[in-house]
Amino acid sequence: MLKCFSRALYAAGRLTSKTAPISSTCRGLEQLRPALIAPCPPAVWPFTRTIWMLCSSGSTAGPRQGLLGSTRGTPHLSCGCGGLHTEGDKAFAEFLSDEIKEERKIQKHKSLPKMSGGWELELNGTEAKIVRHVGGEKISVSFNINNSIPPSFDEEETQDSQKNPDNEPEIVSTPNFVVEVTKQATNQSLVFDCHFPEDEVGHGEEEEESDIFTIREVSFQPTGESDWKETSYTLTTDSLDWALYDHLMDFLADRGVDNTFADELVELSTALEHQEYIKFLEELNRFVKCN
Amino acid sequence: MSIALRNLQRVVPLRRARLRKDVETLRQIMGIQKFDLGFICVDDQRIKHINKKYRHMSIPTDVLSFPFYEDLKAGDLPNATHQDECNLGDIFLGVEFIYRQCQVQTEDFYETLTVVAAHGICHLLGYRHRTEQEWKQMFQKESQVLEEYNRCTGLKLQPLTKNHFS
């Protein structure tokens, strides 16, 4: 009954650039070989590709000649980068340029939104960590924007958005996040593995009955260690006493991790995800164009 | 059986453990521990939407009850034979509305939530207040429950239906 929006990724039609078959150049090269040298199997010939090799239609008749014909999108080599530059690549680069322009147009935040409550942001690629200090405690929340956009399961809505692009659902990034609470006097942190239930993401007509975010697991971990100890007892909340669960939620709320925080985290994550998506498209464009 | 508590709003900071404890006390007083109960805390916007959808009243309110047993006679407990049937239903608490009212009337928020929750549970048990007779019956039940609650806690809570019926 609950709705969830997802990114409608327009699949960029990647054109596979097939390398010219080595065997198609064999006949011409064979003609240059001294008669005493036995012809090598085509696959191991140590020749590098040349414009002549790629563009030559060769003297061979039959289907192979057609594969290299100019009517079949002859690849162009123009920059000496050692990569192919096909008509497909050109179309791909044009598509990417348009896509980047469109994405920039709809980008809500030119710079990342700030979290209220004195949280400081640290970024490492797709990973984000926000940290605040409250009364001798350090609270850090980390998340990764990769795979943070829930898949669409509302086909009707997706179809509507395809018919009318103005109705396109908003893309929202709802990453799992980890809250670490560290007390100064101890060398261990209390770690909460939290997530956004998928059914809360949408804003449909139905009554949504999931919490904004939920705690999935709780454990103690050594402070400052990136790898968690598998031997630490991990409390899973699936079968937990609800009263204990509520106390854990109140514990987080007292440290600034509440529903308002969760909303702001979604906003930050969505902006970061979009920023990284545009960066990826730009890098892809440069890679395809080779400049 | 258990109480499912959900907080879907961001407007009012809510102590979940406190609310659960208070509601759990009510449940014991009313002798309905074997039944599941759902409490969903929502803001004005959402309770107004639900109020409009189910009661055609486009205004925020304090509480809306959705009984699992719709034809239950007031005062009777459901005769649940299977575990799936041990469910009384869901109560939507308009916590933003209630909080605002508490500010105006300088009343304690959690005490008021308890009064509203007792009212909501009575509705799940078949009590209504559409006629004077129904209202009297419901008022009597709420009074009885809250008197016992007051005895346990030392508070002086009054029924929600004290001054009105509709």
Q: Rounded to 5 degrees, what are φ and ψ at B27? A: -60, -40
pLDDT of residue A77: 59
For residues A169-198, give the mean pLDDT. 92
A204 vs A44 pLDDT, higher one: A204
Residues above pLDDT 70, as percent of chain B = 98
Query: So where are chain A's domains?
Result: 1-57, 98-289
Classify A202 as helix, strand or coil: coil
Token reading at B94: 């308009």
Q: What is the CATH code for B3-153?
A: 3.40.390.30
Instruction: Read off the pLDDT of residues A249-287 as tens digits, 9 standing for 90 and up.
Output: 999 999 999 999 999 999 999 999 999 999 999 999 999
Instruction: Read off the pLDDT of residues A94-147 as tens digits, 9 standing for 90 and up.
Output: 999 999 999 999 998 889 999 999 999 999 999 999 999 998 899 999 999 999
| Residue A161 pLDDT greater than 70, yes or no | no
Average pLDDT of chain A to the nearest whole number: 74
pLDDT of residue A85: 84
Q: How far apart are the first and last CA of chain B?
A: 32
pTM: 0.78
Does the distance separating the beta carbons of A209 and B6 come in below 8 Å? yes
Q: Is the Cβ of A162 closer than 8 Å to some Cβ of chain B?
A: no
ipTM higher than threshold 0.90: yes
CATH classification of A98-289, choosing from 3.10.280.10, 3.40.50.410, 3.40.50.970, 3.40.50.300? Answer: 3.10.280.10
Average pLDDT of chain B to the nearest whole number: 94
Between CA A35 and CA A150 the distance in angstroms is 65
pLDDT of residue A19: 34
Cα–chain center distance at A193: 21
Does the distance separating the beta carbons of B50 and A211 come in below 8 Å? no
Instruction: Read off the pLDDT of residues A38-62 as tens digits, 9 standing for 90 and up.
Output: 333 333 333 332 333 333 344 444 4
Query: So where are chain B's domains?
Result: 3-153
Q: Are A168 and A159 in contact (CB under 8 A)?
A: no
Which of A196, A207, A263 is the mutation pick for testing B, counting most B CBs within 10 A? A207
Does the distance separating the beta carbons of A209 and B38 come in below 8 Å? yes
Q: Is the Cβ of A243 closer than 8 Å to some Cβ of chain B?
A: yes
| Residue A71 pLDDT greater than 70, yes or no | no
Find all residues with CB under 8 Å of A260, minimum gap 6, and list them: A116, B10
* A26-35, A58-67, B62-71, B80-89: range with lowest mean pLDDT: A26-35
Instruction: Read off the pLDDT of residues A16-36 as tens digits, 9 standing for 90 and up.
Output: 333 333 333 333 333 333 333
> How many CB atoms neighbour CB A194 within 10 A?
23
